[in-house]
Each structure stands twice: as C-alpha cells, then as structure tokens.
Structure 1
Amino acid sequence: MNKTQNSANYVYENSMLNIFKEEDYFEGFAQYYISIFKAQIVKEIDRIPSESLLDKGCLVESILINYKKKIYYLAGKTLIHEFHQTFDEFDEKNESKNYDIFSERLKNSAFVEEILNNYPVLQDLISRSTSDFIRFTISIIKHWVNDYKKIQQKFNFSFGKMRKVNMNAGDVHNGGKSVVIIEFENNKLVYKPRSLEIDVFYEKVIDYVNQYYQTNLKTPLSLDQGEYGWQEYVQSEPCDNIEQVRNYYYQFGMHLGFIYAFQGSDFHFENIIACRDKPVLVDLETLFQSSLFFSEENKENVNLMASAQVNKTILKSALFNYMSFPEDNGLTNIGGLINTENQKGEKEEVLHIKTDKISIRKKQYLFKRGRNLPVYKNKV
C-alpha cells in the first residue's frame, strides 16, 4: 500500500460489520488500513468459485476482526505514544477531552499519514504483514474449496459453509502463518500450515494398537496435504464419573510410552486436550526429535551432560515439571500434566481506554483452567 492509494481509497465509516468493540481505541487509525484491506480481501474471495461453500458475509467479517487485531498488535504502542505527545496537562473536568480530539483527527487520512511518515519501519512492517495476511487467508479458503471432497470423505461429516476463521491459534511461522480454527455451519475444523505426515502416522499407530490390543485410545483425525493439512477439532469435555478420571491417566501412560519410544518433546499443557477419559495429543510435530550428542571437549560441562541424561528419559516429553522463564519474571510450570490454573503470569494490557490516561502496562494475571487435565464435578 502506498500513500496515494491510501488517500484515494480511505473512507472513514462509523461502523463496519460491527468489528469494533468497546475495548478498541483510536479506531480511525485501524479503519485507515481496514478500509483498503476490506476491498482487497473481498476482491480476492470473489475470484474463488465457491458460492455454495462460503458464507461470504460472516467470513469477511471474521477476517476483518482478525486483521484489526494485527493492526493493534503492530501499531498500538506507537499510537498511544503519539497521542501523549499532543498535550501537556490533563483536564480534570473532562478526562476524555484530548482523547476525543485525537480520535477525531485520526478520521482524516492525511493525519494518519503524517504519523506514519515518522515511522517508516512501522509502515513497512504493516504493509508486509498485510500482504502476508491476505496471501495466507486466501490460501486457506482456496484449500478448503479444492479439498472439499477429500475433507468430506476423511471426516465423514457435512460441515456446511465456511463462516469464520480464528487466526493465531498457535505459534506463528513462515510469513505470518499459524494454526487456524475454522468455524462452519455445523462444526469446526483445524487448519495447520505444515505437513501432518507425522500426525497421520501416529493416527495409524493408535488405530493398530486399538484394533489388536482392544484399547480405546483417541487421536484427532488428520488429512495431510503436503505443506498444510486439516485436523479434527477436539472439544474439551469433563468426566462423568471418577472411573473416567482414572482411565484418563491410564490411557495417558500408553501415550507416554509412544512419546518416549518416538523421542517426542514439547508436550506442554496447550498441546493436550482432555476429552472425558481420553487424553488427545494435538501437536505431534515434535515426535522423532533426535538427541544431542556432545563432543569430547564438552564432556566436562556438567549442565550439558545433565541435559543429555534427561533427554534419555520421559522428562524430555515436557509432560511433567517443565519450567519456562517468561522475560525473567519468574518460573511458570507449563508441563502437559500440570494444573496451570491460578499460576501467576504477566501480560501487557491497555488501561484507561478512551481517556487521556490511556496507557499500556504489564499486569499480573492468573492462568485460566487449562484443557489438558480431566475435570470432574467442576474440579481439576
């Protein structure tokens, strides 16, 4: 996007498909990019011959909401900083006086461009992120249309039209690509921008074990399409009785045997879903991780040798005590079999929204209940 194109196409709208919420701020800046983005994404979607497979209205709205979040993520701090350069004193009688003035000015594209001219790196970052976002989003929709028959056959379910996408459901890789949870008329499906060959392999292993050893382990159905794939959406569900709780851990022991045999790692709490008495592993890309072998000169390094010994055990799986160090703010145990509920963490939060005291601060918060452990009578 260049400035000339921005000025020509930028039209401020008081609302656009209800994508702005009460917690949003300085909407004019986001709208500056969203107006152009909307025209581009609608044009690309219209090129896909898929009238019967897409609910275009709902789909475009969800895409715009995801894009809006990206704009705030990239430019939110800069906007708040720029705002606080526009006044020296707070008006005690009107705590939103300067905020309202700044917000009104942001409805003018020339003022938005004036701010952006001071931040060429940010401008370039938003431009590249927008291009990546459009490319990735359209690729998902095209893959859905092209793979429709294979998906119906694999999952044996009538999903109906694609209605919503939820971006950034996992780590971001390779040009802004991430795991995406897609909502259809009748169900949900997970899109992963990587090969699911390992997931399909594990699915086959578990199917074999269930058939020949009368077990009842569960893996999500997976359809591998090379550089990407589709996976069953698994909903976390509580146990009906205490016997299901016992069975959950019994079955987890079986999975742990395979994780150990296949040299798996990184099975932290976000990669496991408790579905009644079924532990479901939802991210298997870390299976078959080779162990490190240190050279002779490193054999006297106690830490390296201890790490090598640990990697020969089930502790490599990260299912048990697995401590992370988020920005040196203390320890957080994110192991796959750890109850993370009420652990303390820190995150940035925008405070005093829509007032002259708007700011970003780090706030302590408590982890919510994870999906990794069985729940019975509302207790983990």
Structure 2
Amino acid sequence: MVKMENTEKNKLFNKFTRNFIQTNFSEYDMQNCEIEFLEDKVLDIYMNTLILLINEKRLLGILKGSTSEERYEYFNDVLCGKYIIDEIAKRFPKLVSRSLTQLKNYLLLYRKVEQLFLKDVPKLIQNRFISNQCENFKMEDLQITVSGDFHNGSGVCILFYKGERVIYKGKNNFANQLLIEIFSKLGDEFEESLEFLPRYIDCGDYYWEEYIEHTSIRNSNISASEYYKRFGYLLAVAYLLNISDLHFENILASGDIPKLVDVETIFNLQPYEILSETIADKDLLKRNAESVLLTGLLPLAGSNEVFGGDTSGILGGKFVGEVRVIQNQMRDDISVKRQVVRKTNKSHLPFYISEGEEQYFEVKDYLRELLFGFKKVTSYVENQKNTFLSIIEKYSEKIDVRILFRNTKDYSIVRTLLLSPKYSENDNIIFEKFKNKLVNYQSDELCESEIKQLEQMDIPYFSMKSNSCDVYDLYGNAVWSTYYSPIELIRKKIQNLSVHIIEEQYKLIEFSISSTLRLYNQEALPRINDVEDKSYSDSILYKGVQNIVDRLLGAIYLSNSDQTCNWLTLSINNVDCLELSPMDCTLYGGLSGVALALIESMTLLEEDYRKKVRSVLPYLYNSILKKYEYLTNDSFYMGRMGVLYTLKKLSKEVGKDLDNWVNIEIDNVISRLNIGDTDFLTGISSVIPAIRLENLNKVTFEELSDIYIKQAKEKDNFVFWGNEQSNNVSLAHGNLGIELALVRLIKVLDNSNNKETISTLLKKAINFDNLQRREHGWVDNRNFSHSANWCHGATGVLLSRIDLYNQLKNDKTATISSTDLQQDVIHSLQDIKEVGLNLANFSLCHGVSGNLLTLVHTQNFFDENNIVNNYNLKKFVRENFYKIHLYGLQNGWMCNFNTKYDSYALFTGISGILYATTLYLKNDIKSDVLLPNIVS
C-alpha cells in the first residue's frame, strides 16, 4: 500500500475521526488507547475522501470563513459531524461498509491481543521477554500496532508497554521449530552456536516472540567475518528448504548474528504451471525458479517477479517507492501529491560504532566468508542427506505452507482502490481486471476466494499441508491443486543435490552480489582506455571472436524434445533490478540478434567452431519461428520486422525456403501500420525504412503521414513527439529515428498537403535537435551531460544525419541544408571520440562496439566528402577494436557489468561485440542493424 506521509496527521480532520467512531462504535465500551488506535485507522482510510469533499465544498462556496485556514476549521468543526458522515454513507456506501469491516476487525484483534497479553504477562516475565516492571498491568500504558499483512482478523502485532516490546503472532510456529532444530544440528556439527531465530513462547495456536533490536558489532573485522559466514549458513538452509520472500524487512542484524524475524513461506511452491513458448524456455525457467535466487536474500529479481529495486536481505533497502505527501495542511485547498522516491533502509545490515557514528559493513568485503558459509552447509547436507531429511520428515505433516498466487503488493493495491472514493463503487471493474491476469489458468474458485477475502479487507491467504497437493483458503475451501506436494519437491531437491549443483548456486551468489554492486556504482568499472598495450595485432581480434563464440555455445541450452534452444540472459528490468530470464526472439534483445551475429562470424571461425555453429542454427531457426507466433509488436528492433529479416537469412543457412511466407507476413505488418506509434525502437518509424515504400499505394502513404501529423507536438518553431522534458536527441526514442521515416515519406508522397506538412515537420524536428546542441555534443536530459551512444546522443546523430544527407542529396526541392547536416556529422564525430569510447560497456546500444561499428559504416561518407582524414579515423577504429578485445580476453567482456552470467543479446550483450568485430574484420560497411535494412 502506498504510504501516506503527514507530519500533523493526528490533528487533521480530528472532529471527523472522533465523530465517526462515536457514530459507528457506540456499542463498544472503549478505552482511550483503543480510541486513539482506531482514530489513526479511520484517518488512513478516509483521508482521500475528506480531501475530495473539502475541495468540492470550497469550489461550491459552501465553506464559511475569510481565509483558507478558517474555511478548513469550518469544515472540520461544523460539517465533519452528521452532515459529512451522512454524505459519505450516501455517496460511497461500499467504502463505508468495507471500512467498518476493517475497523471492527482491527478493534477485535486489538482486544484479543490485549487480553492474551494480560493473561500471559507472567510467562513473558518468567522467560525474560519483558521485565518485572510490567507486572502491575495498566491498560492505558499498552500500545499495539498491527504489522504486515492482515488475514481473517489476524495479523502480527507489536506490543509496546512501559518502554518494552514483544511480538504477537497468531499462528503455530512449527516452521520456526524445524529451523531451530536444523540450525542446532548444524551447530553441533560445526561446533558453533547458531541462534538465527528469536526466542519464542509457544501457546498453541499463537506464540509470543522476543523483540529483536538492531545492534552493533563490537569487534569489527572478526565479528563481521563471522556475521557473513553465518549469513552463508542461513542462505544455504533457505535454499535447501525453498524459503522465499526473505527480503530486507525479514532480516535483522543483531550484533554478529543475522536474525530471521519472519519466516512466512517455508517449503515454497510455485502453484502455476510454467507457461512458455518453447520447451527450452520452460526448462530454463524451471531451473531458475529452483535456484538460490528464490530466497529473496540475494539482490536479483527472479524471472517471475519484479521488485521496485533491491529489496534483498543481504544488500537490500534500496528501492523505488511512492509516497503521498499532504500539502496545504489545515487549509481548504488541502491536496495530496504523489512523489516517487528512492528509499534506503539499513536496519538489516551489520554495523559498528566509530566516533559515535554508525558505520555499515559491505558484503563485497566479506564475499569469501559468505560463500564459505554457503558451501560448508550445502556440502555437509550433500554428504548427510538422510540425516537432514530425517529432521524435515518429522514436520512434514505439521507445517502449513503459504502459497502466493500473486505478489502481496498487488493485493494491497486492490485493497487500497476498494477504499478510495474514485473506485470503491466501481469494484466490478477492479475485480474484472484482477481476474483477467489469470486468464490462462482455470482459476474461477481462486479468484472468487480472493475477491471474498479482499471484500473483507484481508490480504488473501492460501495454504496447503506440506504433504498435500490441495490448496485451501481461510474458509476451508479447496481452490487449487498442484502436481507435487511441497515436501516432495524438498525431498527431490535434497536427494539430487550434487557438487555440480552446489557450484552452480555458488556462482549465482557471487554473480548476484557483484553485478548489483556494479549496477549501483558504475563509476568504479574500468574503461578500455586503461589498456596500455600498443602492440596491435589482428590475431587478437580473431581470438576475441572465437572466445565470444565459445561463450555463446558454452551457455546455450538445447532441448531435444522440440529442437529449440535459448540462453538464460542477464538484463535490467523496468525497476532497475537485475534479472536472469530466457531471451525473446527479437532482433534487439533476443534470439534473432544472436543468430545474425553467429551467421556473420562463421567465415572467420576455425572449422570445428564453424561446425558447432552450424549445428545450433536449426535449433535457433525452430525457436525463432515458434516464438514469432507470440509477438505483438511490428517494429524492426522489438517486433516482427526484425525477426522476419533474420529468418530470411537464417532459413537459407538451414536449407529452408521462407521467402513467400516472409512476404505475406510483411504485407500483414503493412496492413497494421496505420495504428502504430511513432517511436523508432518500438514503433513504426523503424518499419518504414525496412519496407519498399514504392510498392505501397497512395492511401497508405497518406495514412502513415497522418499518424506523424496527429502525434506531433509543436511549440514555437520546433516539433517533437512524446514528452518534451524527457525528449533527448535520441535515435531510439527521440526525433532522430522519426526523421528517418519522415524523409522517406517525403520522397513517396505526391504533391499534397501532407507532403508539405511532413516536410515542415522534418525541418522543425531538426530545429528541436538543434536547440539541444552544445559545445560538446547534445545535452542528455537524463543526466544533463552529453552522451555518445547508438540509442541516445552523438552516435545516433551521426547515423541519422548521414542517412538524411544520402536521402536528400539529389532532391532539388529539399529545404534541409546539406552543409548543416555535414556540420552535425563533424560535431557528432568529435563527441564520439571524446566520450563514446571510454564507456564501461562494450555493447552496440549504449557501448563502445556500437560507436566503432558506426564509424566503420560511415567510412565511405567521410571519404566521399573529405570531412576527416580517413587514414587517421581507420587507425583510431582499429586501435579501439584492439583495446576491446585485449581487455575482453584478459578481464571479461563488459556487457552488463562483466559477470559470470553474460547478456547475450545483440544490442545489449556479447553478440553485439561479435557482430561489430566480424563486420570490421570482413571490411563490411553495411548497416543492417544500426539502421533498418530493407526486409523485402
């Protein structure tokens, strides 16, 4: 749920909260502490509604007072009684009904926990959970807060009493008992005390848990080493028992011990059958889902989950969140503004005190200890499988396994919408969208239960016995069945544990931590200018080509079941989180790009490598063809046109004839062009240069022109598409790519109004680019610096301006100055030399290879127009290709942080380095992928 920030929360609308409670809870004899507890909840629920109503009344002139503050007081003191309560009940009856359900559930829980605490005070004192000063209980001294999810009237509660705290959990604690026994066994074997869980008092269907404080480490270096070794132990057990959701809020650093303060999902089981386009994809997804990444302790998103940043238990606390800040408090124009913020939480991290300041340890300095701890436990279990399994079997009939069908964040969002004035009365729309997310599964019973629980203002909860295959909701209804029971999967995992699997997980841990640290600290990465060896030799480039091909072939997964293949590739998702997932089939980031790179490289490879490449091409062909059916985008880079371009080439390599089918598919793409967006990377602007426009009819030209005319945003003497503030001089997402489409439309449009309009748009689009021209390159609005990449900045300018020059050089009616275009070419070349070759990335899209391949492609232009000394430019390109390969062979290829898990894609990974180097060595100046090539 989005958090509401408000510094004067208890004062805002205080008359409403008190009147609401008096009106709806008159039958309850409540203590002041209970009233204060409910007032906070009432304000949380009704804040948006009250802000809506006060602003409505302000605009209607109903509020009395000469100032905004006086009118707020009138609303709060006079109207926030029966008047507003009745209006809300009439306009938002479902909101009121749900809020009362939630508030009464909270109150009942409060009273239940209050009574249990009163009853169990002697036990808590006896077990030193609280001190003797709590013996003479006074209710007014007790404060209770509900923490985390709320299920069926129950939730985790933190009790504050006379400066002391204790935790209440309304469930059995068999999972904790299992973990304590396992860690006790490991402790005996390792001769260590391994107390990773808080002490507890078992009371049957509930238990009390010791409150754990975030405390410092005393002996810094020795204790930090111990902490991370123990974290390795914890990580190993979490991996072996399929414990998931161990994010930063569930781990606490208590001195040199990582404490597990919540174990919600032990014996985790993925309830859904893995849906995939090929069997190779399914196998990779399954392997990924069973890895150490599942635990949530490591900073990497799984392929089936997206986090708002790094929420891991070991680094975590860095994530993107949204807060609602209340503005104009105590005024009648009070409002809520949403702010996206990057939050940092450190309470789960170990620290020491130096000169009165908290100094936090960094896992990068103790990675060896972490890995040692992980390997020590897994190696022990690998040799003592029966002993380990015998402990687990004792609990196989006791443990309830929580099953997560959706991210709890999704449930929280829906619950928030059900209490909003805008959506509360239109819940059918919310629930219909909710159901549609599971449209690929037989999920009617599940969705009905989810809706029923959400209507009760609960976070839906489902569970199964660890030795069963049936999933039940809180009401005892069976809603789902799985192929295996959770305990079966644990048995299988432990029985199959091997040295090879342990090493695979070992590498994943190392990769996950090191790659994420580099993601947040790219300045620390080395640059190719650090390479000092000047003994240039083409043999280094050939070795580099062979090395990359070797890495590609070594990492490929082949499925003989359906003759398909894929790679588990590294990427960054839309919330800045690293993830490993199978590749799609696109040219930009998928199998088509890899296929093009391998095909181009074959003539440079030794015979045995050439044979290996040829042996995987049929698998690539089958995979791309199968995946093509699922594409919904038509663009050259992210959709069908690029895949069709690849399939034409690939089909010839595997002895297939696809020409007729490709032509039919291109016609289908053309028929849909009139509904596209103008983006170059993802939209129609990359399709137009890839088709033979002269074969299209005039109506199509006019329709395409209308798209650009309608979506253009004009201002003064310039034009742009999209958002002005974030609009860079960009080939991928800015005017540069769109200009390539416009200039081609101008050439085929007859003398019509559209031709004149498109010509004007082209000129104004270039004006917009010129506005962002600086002494060095063009401003990059993402960081207010200047970039030289294919996607953003000077490299895209160079490609775009040369293309415009070539398209217009024989057009006597052109209004674009060829001299200006040449000046942009020179300016962009200078910027590429200045910043484009000292990047911490070797990729095509935003790295050095893209810049070098661009310079290779543009050599003829420089020759023909005497723009630069071409000998010096060729020497410059040669030296930098050499630096890439010397660095790559010695240190690894810098694509997505140079880890043991590569990005294999053409534009973001090592296939792009292979492709660029191959074309350079073959002296091939074509621009098949830098700019869209004619597909047919």
TM-score range normalised by the length of the shorter chain:
0.7 to 0.9
> Residues of 2 paired with 1:137 and 1:302: CA distance?
52
Equivalent of residue 262 in structure 2, options 268, 283, 290: 283
Tell me, yes or no, if the aligned pair for 2:308 and 2:320 is still in contact at 8 Å.
no
1:121 matches 2:94: yes
Gap change, CA 1:142 and 1:357, over 3 Å in 2: same
Alpha-carbon distance, 1:140 to partner: 0.7
1:74 matches 2:74: no
Equivalent of residue 185 in structure 1, options 145, 158, 162: 162
- 1:106: which partner in 2? 79
Equivalent of residue 8 in structure 2, options 22, 47, 56: 22
> Residues of 2 paired with 1:308 and 1:135: CA distance?
43
**SS of aligned partner of 1:280:** strand
Q: CA RMSD in A?
A: 3.2
> Residues of 2 paired with 1:290 and 1:205: CA distance?
20
Percent identity reads: 21
Gap change, CA 1:110 and 1:156, over 3 Å in 2: closer
Higher RCO (Cα < 8 Å, 6 or more apart) = 1
**SS of aligned partner of 1:220:** coil
**SS of aligned partner of 1:265:** coil
> Residues of 2 paired with 1:147 and 1:230: CA distance?
9
1:143 matches 2:116: yes
| Larger deviation, residues 157-166 vs 350-359 | 157-166
**SS of aligned partner of 1:87:** helix
- 1:229: which partner in 2? 207
**SS of aligned partner of 1:79:** helix
> Residues of 2 paired with 1:303 and 1:71: CA distance?
48
| Larger deviation, residues 150-159 vs 354-363 | 150-159
- 2:324: which partner in 1? 348
> Residues of 1 paired with 2:301 and 2:186: CA distance?
33
1:369 matches 2:355: no
Tell me, yes or no, if the aligned pair for 2:298 and 2:314 is still in contact at 8 Å.
yes
Equivalent of residue 334 in structure 2, options 333, 338, 358: 358
Unpaired segments of 5 or more residues in structure 1?
Answer: 1-19, 44-59
**Across the two proteins, how many residue pairs are aligned to each other?**
339
- 1:33: which partner in 2? 20
Equivalent of residue 315 in structure 1, options 293, 297, 303: 293
- 1:108-145 alpha-carbon deviations (Å, 9 max, x no partner): 33443233322211221222122212211111122223
> Residues of 1 paired with 2:111 and 2:332: CA distance?
39
> Residues of 2 paired with 1:323 and 1:353: CA distance?
39
Equivalent of residue 85 in structure 1, options 51, 56, 64: 56
| Larger deviation, residues 204-213 vs 220-229 | 204-213
AA in 2 matched with 1:348: R
> Residues of 2 paired with 1:21 and 1:36: CA distance?
27
- 2:659: which partner in 1? none
Equivalent of residue 201 in structure 1, options 172, 178, 185: 178
Alpha-carbon distance, 1:304 to partner: 4.6
TM-score by length of 1: 0.78
- 1:252: which partner in 2? 231
Gap change, CA 1:290 and 1:114, over 3 Å in 2: closer
- 1:12: which partner in 2? none
**SS of aligned partner of 2:155:** coil
**SS of aligned partner of 1:168:** strand
1:379 matches 2:350: no
4+ residue segments displaced more than 6 Å: 89-93
Larger Rg: 2
| Larger deviation, residues 225-234 vs 262-271 | 225-234
Q: How does 1:266-281 map to 2 (within 5 A)?
A: 266-281=245-260
Q: How does 1:288-307 map to 2 (within 5 A)?
A: 288-290=267-269, 294=273, 300=278, 304-307=282-285
Alpha-carbon distance, 1:40 to partner: 5.4
Tell me, yes or no, if the aligned pair for 1:323 and 1:334 is still in contact at 8 Å.
no
TM-score by length of 2: 0.34
Tell me, yes or no, if the aligned pair for 2:311 and 2:317 is still in contact at 8 Å.
yes
> Residues of 1 paired with 2:110 and 2:264: CA distance?
22
Unpaired segments of 5 or more residues in structure 2?
Answer: 1-5, 361-936
> Residues of 1 paired with 2:281 and 2:15: CA distance?
53
AA in 2 matched with 1:76: M
Tell me, yes or no, if the aligned pair for 1:38 and 1:64 is still in contact at 8 Å.
no
Alpha-carbon distance, 1:263 to partner: 1.5
- 1:333-377 alpha-carbon deviations (Å, 9 max, x no partner): 111112425x44212222211112211121133424331111234
